Structure 1
Amino acid sequence: MFLVLLAFIASATSSSGFPRIISIFMMVVGLMLEFQKGSGLEGISQGILLILPLLCLVTLSPLLSVPLKLEGYFEAVNALLRNLIHYPRKLFAGITTSLFILSPILSLGSVRVINEFLSALKLPSAITAKSYLVGFSTAIMWSPYFGSVSLVLYYLGMPVGQYILYGIGLSLLSLIVGNFLFFIWERKHPLLKKEIPEAVLETQHRSQLIKLTMFVSILISSSLIIEHLTKWSMIVIVCVISIIQPLVWAIIKNNGWKRLYPQWITFKDVSVPIMNNEIMLFTSAGLLGHAIQDTSIANNLSYLLINIAEKSIFLFAFSVMTIILVVTFIGIHQIAVITALAMQLSPTELGISTLSLAMLLLLSWAVSSALSPFSGLNLMVSRLSGLSGVQVGLRANGLHLLILSIIGIGIFMLVA
């Protein structure tokens, strides 16, 4: 607990702006609630230890990208996107599919990588906002290497193997809807970039793209197999793989250690400091979510949602999504409200399956991350596209998120 608090303080002193303000606010409120409940230091310790696995996951997962950089996979993705510059619909599909593959491993770093490739192309802001949000938000709903999936399933006590196919299915539907809506949008807003030369997608690049897809598939499959055999938490498995995988790469490759060392220095000096906001937000939001549990507000809300679920499963799903969207839209991180709901709500009392509750919470997480102008995803896409957070979420992607929500609630009702 002491080390986590030190990490929070160190991150807070190195950060600025709204993330710093909201993190300190959530931390103070969480501490006050724990003392008000009478749990004191013991409650604070439990809240921080509950979020500790996610902090480990967020901090260590960037190590997974080391072999991708050293093997030249990013250059192959760059060649693919430049090859599609004269075909807007194919380009949009290429961006969203690349993010679908890269985001589980690189997290928000995948958006930075793709944007570096596309910065010289000077795409319209609307295309940037649409493609980045559509592609990245899919990982929030399915990837075990993503904090959202690992955290929700961790608190609900559900193995990732029992959920992942449903999550992938919902994510693929989101990709299809997003690309279909872009198809319609592009007919009215043609993209002409004839002055930019089309890159040649060489055989070597095609081979690298296939290897990249296989790499991600093997990574996910191995995690699921280990979970099935050991019954360990997926968060633990991902952290262990994040450490071991670069070491294995260094052993089997020529001059592996020599090539790995600069990447390790970059991870230590660049990648970890970049995550100051995430460390602050996750720590404070996790503590706040634990502190809210068993308060009068949480108990009354839980009682209300149980009564709603008894009358209508649809109204229950709509109410949960509305609560999460409202709370996150005013700046409270998804972890705080969704952690509180995951720990407070019992699928048995609600009369639904654990799978359906997990799907609903992760759908709400993805939609709120795209809509909230204070979420890390929305803030980054807003900065890269030059649009405001509201324009990125509501104007550019509102229809897509609405249709995704309707589809998601429909699937929730089927599996409930």
Structure 2
Amino acid sequence: MRSYLILSMCILYLSYYFVQNVWLGYLVVVLAIAGFIASAVKAQGFPRIIAMVMMGMGIILEFYKGTGAEGISQGILMILPLLCIVTLAPLLSIPLKLGGYFESIDSLLRNLLHHPRRLFAGITTSLFILSPILSLGSVRILSEFLSDLKLPAAMSAKSYLIGFSTAIMWSPYFASVSLVLYYLDMEVGKYIVYGIGLSFLSLLIGNFLFALWERRNPLERIHTPEVPLAKESRNQLLMLGMFVTLLLSSSLTIEYFTKWSMIIIVCIISIILPLVWGIITKGWSRLIPLLENYRDQSVPMMNNEIMLFTSAGLFAHAVQGTPFANTISDFLTGVAKDSILLFALAVICIVVAVTYIGLHQIAVIAALAMQLKAEELGISNLSLAMLLLLSWSISSASSPFSGLNLMVSKIVGISGFETGIRSNGIHLVILTVIGLGIILIVS
């Protein structure tokens, strides 16, 4: 039942985006609240607590500001695009599963076992490509491929966090990029080159640091014979790269001609792509079971995402315009007038500190994106977008409460602090310095 509720919410919101009917908007908000309640009933642990706190605080603040039910409705409508992309984007993985691409990635990684540095590069690059489509599922899939290899915990922690966190900074199929550019009213086409460039730098830094680490901590060599990668696997990997490139280029092309929100474009592509695959291949007998599994298994498992995104979005909207938010905004604006570098450092420190104690990135980043104005800060919209996404990436890798850190620490069997700060602290510091340098250049 929850699946139908959440999927109906997504479809109706996509309809609302084009027709802008007031009553349809209210209906979508009601479905979103019902979806939040249904997810909260099934969820457990810390995410449930923090989501309930943010939702409660958001409602209280909306009534405190005098906006009441209308403010709550607006806050939820503002976060609904993100709920849709989080819910619908996993549909993109279905053609990958049916096309056998995951098996080719497994073959590639096993082919690199004899070369630790190449294996690390293979893991991080695979996550760079897969994470925008599979989100945290990409980490889970690769960890299953590598589970019988008994890689050192530090190596796994480094590769998973470095590979995944790059997608946070560049992919329009990822919630972070979609949210920041949506709130800053910025086209993805004007940002994407800079985001990809910063992500590539992050990958290069991570691989260079791993090479230094591996030199001091040499891994045990595999003595089994090396087997060349099969031609079929090489072709599948090439097609995977073409698939991701086609997704990205088609999204940017549609955005350029229609001026639709990239979130809406991604959601529509996510719905259409599996159907197009079924039509072209006539493989409905293989497609339908995966669609049913998505409906019955994948969507119900999104309890935490639905709760956290809904509550964080409402909280961020409710905070906007409050004395506290205005004080922070005035402080940051004042700092920016004195020094853009100090302003950027202040933003990163605020985001990392707040998320380190458990608040979700969406709440603080969305609040900053709605509250800060690039022209008042004396910087470009591009610089502000890069700064917020860099902060999101750093906080996701460092915070022991982020979904990424929680998953990786559970997989590798070490604490969130060891996964984030101890294993990747140097990488995050260097990335911060280089990222700030680029932001100052384009500001």
* Counterpart contact for 1:82–1:198, Cα < 8 Å: no
Give the aligned partner of residue 301 of structure 1: 328
- CA distance in 2 between counterparts of 1:90 and 1:374 reads 30
Structure 1 CA distance, aligned partners of 2:429 and 2:224?
Answer: 35
**In structure 1, distance between residues paired with 2:291 and 2:225:** 36
User: Of residues 398, 417, 428 in structure 2, which corresponds to 1:401?
Assistant: 428
Cα displacement string for residues 318-346 of structure 1 (whole angstroms, at most 9, x for unaligned residues) = 00001101110010001101101000000
User: Is the alpha carbon distance of 1:383 and 1:197 closer, same or farther for their aligned partners in structure 2, counting shifts above 3 Å?
Assistant: farther
Match of 1:114 in 2: 142
* 1:58-73 to 2 correspondences below 5 Å: 58-73=86-101
1:96 aligns with 2:155: no
1:251 to 279, 299, 306: 279
**Contact 1:79-1:199 within 8 A present in 2 as well:** no
Q: Counterpart amino acid of 1:410?
A: G
State the shift of 1:9 in Å.
Answer: 1.1
Structure 1 residues 16 and 199: CA distance shift in structure 2, 3 A: farther
Match of 1:179 among 200, 207, 210: 207
Describe the superposition over 1:262-293 as per-residue Cα deviations: whole angstroms up to 9, x where unpaired. Answer: 10111012211221111111011000000000
Superposition TM-score, scaled by structure 2 size: 0.93
Q: Does 1:169 align with 2:197?
A: yes
After superposition, the CA RMSD in angstroms is 0.9
Show the 5 A alignment for 1:330-349: 330-349=357-376
1:129 matched to 2:157? The reply is: yes
| 1:289 aligned residue | 316
* 2:178 is aligned with 1:150: yes
Q: Using a 3 Å threshold, how does the CA distance of structure 1 residues 91 and 197 change in structure 2: closer, same or farther? A: same
User: Measured at CA, do residues 249 and 188 of structure 1 come closer, stay the same or move farther in structure 2, by a change above 3 Å?
Assistant: same
1:322 matched to which residue of 2?
A: 349
Residue aligning to 1:411: 438
Counterpart CA distance in 1 for 2:428 and 2:412 is: 19
Answer yes or no: is 1:11 the counterpart of 2:39. yes
Match for 1:163: what amino acid? Answer: Y
* Aligned twin of 2:75: 47
In structure 2, distance between residues paired with 1:141 and 1:196:
38
Percentage of identical aligned residues: 66
Give CA-to-partner distance per residue, 1:356-393, whole Å, 9 cap, x none.
00000000000000011111001000100111011111
Name 1:139's counterpart in structure 2: 167
1:100-145: CA deviation from partner (whole Å, max 9, x where unpaired): 0101111111001111100011111101100000000000000000
Q: 1-side partners of 2:222 and 2:384: how far apart?
A: 48
Partner residue, 2:403: 376
Structure 2: give runs of 5+ residues left out of the alignment: 1-28
CA distance in 2, matches of 1:86, 1:21: 45
**3-state DSSP of counterpart to 1:275:** helix
Matched, 1:219 2:214: no
Deviation, 1:194, is: 2.0
Aligned-partner residue type, residue 93 of structure 1: A
Say yes or no: does 1:268 pair with 2:295. Answer: yes
When the two structures are superposed, what TM-score results if normalisation uses the length of structure 1?
A: 0.99
CA offsets 1:164-211 (integer angstroms, 9 cap, x no match):
000000000000000000000001111115266655410000000000
Structure 1 residue 412: Cα displacement = 0.6
**Counterpart contact for 1:298–1:344, Cα < 8 Å:** yes
The answer to whether the 8 A contact 1:125-1:385 is kept is: yes
| CA pair 128-299 structure 1, distance change in 2 beyond 3 A | same
> 2 CA distance for matches of 1:199 and 1:354?
49
Aligned AA (1:128): S
Match of 1:277 in 2: 304
